[in-house]
Structure 1
Amino acid sequence: MMFVLNQEILSVNCGPGVHRKVLAHNEDMMMCEIRFEKGAVGALHAHPHLQTTYVVSGSFEFTIGDEKKVVKAGDSLLMPPDVLHGTVALLDGVLVDVFSPMRKDFL
């Protein structure tokens, strides 16, 4: 997967107002594009993967562990493995998530 063209990737419905595309990945790393409609929720969850998130557009209230913060376009986050995290979209927006290692459950 050296080149992944966004228009060729099918979007997966991840719940009301949330759609995910799995972008470039290998066994060590995976990038995903997540689109949220205003008010959509990324439920609190934890996983064994290291995750970074880049806010492409919109505004989100994120919870990571015991901390809650509003982030907007240009901001980034780091979720350590096994730490509870989730989000609520305050506006329509797009996130780019990177996981290490890859999320096999997304394929």
Structure 2
Amino acid sequence: MSAEEISDLYQRKVAVGENITVARVEVKEGAITHSHSHDNEEMILVLEGTWRFYLPSGAVTISANQMLNIPPGVEHSSEALEDTVALDICAPRRSDWLTGADRPLHADPDQFLWAV
């Protein structure tokens, strides 16, 4: 499994099964994921560091050996409060990770041209 660089601040190594996706994610301090939702249940287990997630119910901060479950359809975004390593587990599998369609979620918005 080789590392996929999503942005300067976000890398992942992905393993995909028929019904599940598991990724080892490395995010640098300050990395953000823009607000989004998906049809997948997502569980994030932080191995090192601290990661804050913003959910409709409020902000949740998880650190080493803590896990967050995000149900399908729940809007969420995140910010790495320090360099963080985590396992990101999704079911059913994340087809957008296979195609790279999720890349804009992790990018600096100043690097994109937006049309309205």
Which TM-score applies when normalising by structure 2?
0.78
Ranges in structure 1 where 5+ consecutive residues have no aligned partner: 1-8
For residue 89 of structure 2, what is the aligned residue in structure 1? 98
* 1:65 maps to 2:53: no
Candidates 10, 14, 17, aligned match of 2:6: 14
* Higher strand fraction (1 or 2): 1
In the TM superposition, residue 65 of structure 1 has moved relative to its aligned partner by: 2.4
Give the ranges of 4+ consecutive aligned residues of structure 1 lying more than 4 Å apart after TM superposition: none
Measure, in 2, the Cα distance between the counterparts of 1:16 and 1:45. 20
Measure, in 2, the Cα distance between the counterparts of 1:43 and 1:79. 15
Measure, in 2, the Cα distance between the counterparts of 1:16 and 1:79. 25
Q: Deviations over 1:19-70 (max 9, x none)?
A: 11102x3121110111011111122211100111101110111112232022
Which TM-score applies when normalising by structure 1?
0.84
* 1:35 maps to 2:45: no
Measure, in 1, the Cα distance between the counterparts of 2:58 and 2:6. 24
Aligned AA for 1:16? D
Aligned AA for 2:6? C
In the TM superposition, residue 73 of structure 1 has moved relative to its aligned partner by: 0.4
For residue 103 of structure 2, what is the aligned residue in structure 1? none
Q: Deviations over 1:68-87 (max 9, x none)?
A: 02211011001111111121
The count of residues paired between Structure 1 and Structure 2 equals 98
Ranges in structure 2 where 5+ consecutive residues have no aligned partner: 99-116
Measure, in 1, the Cα distance between the counterparts of 2:56 and 2:4. 27
Over the matched positions of the two proteins, sequence identity in percent amounts to 27
* 1:52 maps to 2:49: no
* Higher helix fraction (1 or 2): 2
